[in-house]
Amino acid sequence: MTATPVETTAPAPVLEARGIGVWLSGRRILHDVSFAVQPGEFIGLIGSNGAGKTTLLRVILGLQRPTSGSIEIGGKHPGHGAEVVGYLPQKVALDSDLPLRARDVVALGLDGQKLGIPLPSAKRTALVDDMLAAVDATSFADARVGLLSGGQQQRVLIAHALISRPRLLLLDEPLANLDIRSSSEIVELLARVSRERGVAVLLSAHDLNPLLPFMDRIVYLEGGRAVSGTSDEVVQSDVLTALYGRRVDVLRVEGRVLVVAGPDEAHGHDE
């Protein structure tokens, strides 16, 4: 008797980009960018300043229409199901005089799609406490958010973006103003949240080194073009030489990666 093979169906991608192109003011910003993000994946969107990372995030959010190609998020076009996506923009200024506690900022994430003043409730408090605990922010939950350190503020803002329970979390350069220790802690936190809560995370950064131990795959942008795969597949001299259009050397020194592109151009990925 022959056993009937069991068919397994791969889960549908949370995010699928197909041939995305963007022209702005007569200049090509993105060209034929394609990749997919699976549920629970942690993906680094890596590229130097001007590579097109923020423009790509704006396309995913539905804030920028692509000139060509298409985006689907949870099987829908951007803007048709905002609850699927959580977002942490590149620059969020939390003034030291802001009269809000950390828990107040997190709670605001519950009200982004609602009108009126929400009534306090035990369920609401429990949701906020759960999310504060998820990002290791319980100890400063009642502190004024403007007085927290940069790393602590990032934890609060991540909790704010996650409390609506999105399937996809986008973060635009969340490590830009953090020291090395805080950057490592935030990346490790995001990897844990992604794994434990099944949230797909797409984090943009110019330096891939803090992400190397944790990310599942990488989308590497340069000059508006992209390659994607595991870091071992992408961060190779021949792959990046083809992407950059000029000679690229990949050096690995004491656990760090240095990408050197062209004469006298060291992109410290350190980039």
pLDDT in tens, 192-244: 999 999 999 999 999 999 999 999 999 999 999 999 999 999 999 999 999 99
Instruction: Specify whether the CB–CB gap between 137 and 102 falls below 8 A.
Output: yes
Residue 7 included in any domain: no
Q: Using one digit for the tens of pLDDT, what is the confidence trace for 22-49?
A: 999 999 999 999 999 999 999 999 998 8
Residue 27 included in any domain: yes
Q: What is the pLDDT of residue 266?
A: 45
Mean pLDDT score of the chain: 87
Residues 89 and 181 placed together within one structural domain of the fold: yes
In this model, does residue 264 exceed pLDDT 50? no
Residues 229 and 251 placed together within one structural domain of the fold: no
Residue 5 included in any domain: no
Residues 190 and 265 placed together within one structural domain of the fold: no
Residues 175 and 258 placed together within one structural domain of the fold: no
CA dihedral (36, 225, 208, 248) positive or negative: positive
88 versus 1: the higher-pLDDT residue is: 88
Residue 218 included in any domain: yes
Residues 137 and 250 placed together within one structural domain of the fold: no
Residues 225 and 264 placed together within one structural domain of the fold: no
Q: What is the pLDDT averaged over residues 133-149?
A: 94
Residue 48 included in any domain: yes
Residues 82 and 208 placed together within one structural domain of the fold: yes
Residues 98 and 127 placed together within one structural domain of the fold: yes
In this model, does residue 254 exceed pLDDT 50? yes
- Per residue in 241-269, is it b (16+ CB within 10 Å) or e — as a string? eebbeeebebeeeeeebbbbbeeeeebeb
Residues 160 and 98 placed together within one structural domain of the fold: yes
Residues 151 and 214 placed together within one structural domain of the fold: yes
Q: What is the pLDDT of residue 38?
A: 94
Distance CA 170, CA 187 (A): 13
Residue 3 included in any domain: no
**Neighbouring residues of 61: CB distance < 8 A, sequence distance ≥ 6:** 78, 85, 87, 170
What is the extent of the structural domain holding 26? 15-234
Residue 136 included in any domain: yes
Closest CA to 60 of 25, 30, 40: 30
Q: How many domains are there within the chain?
A: 2
CATH code, domain with 185: 3.40.50.300
Distance CA 209, CA 75 (A): 32
Lowest-confidence pick of 79-83, 125-129, 161-165, 177-181 = 79-83
Residues 67 and 196 placed together within one structural domain of the fold: yes
Residue 253 included in any domain: yes
Residues 141 and 204 placed together within one structural domain of the fold: yes
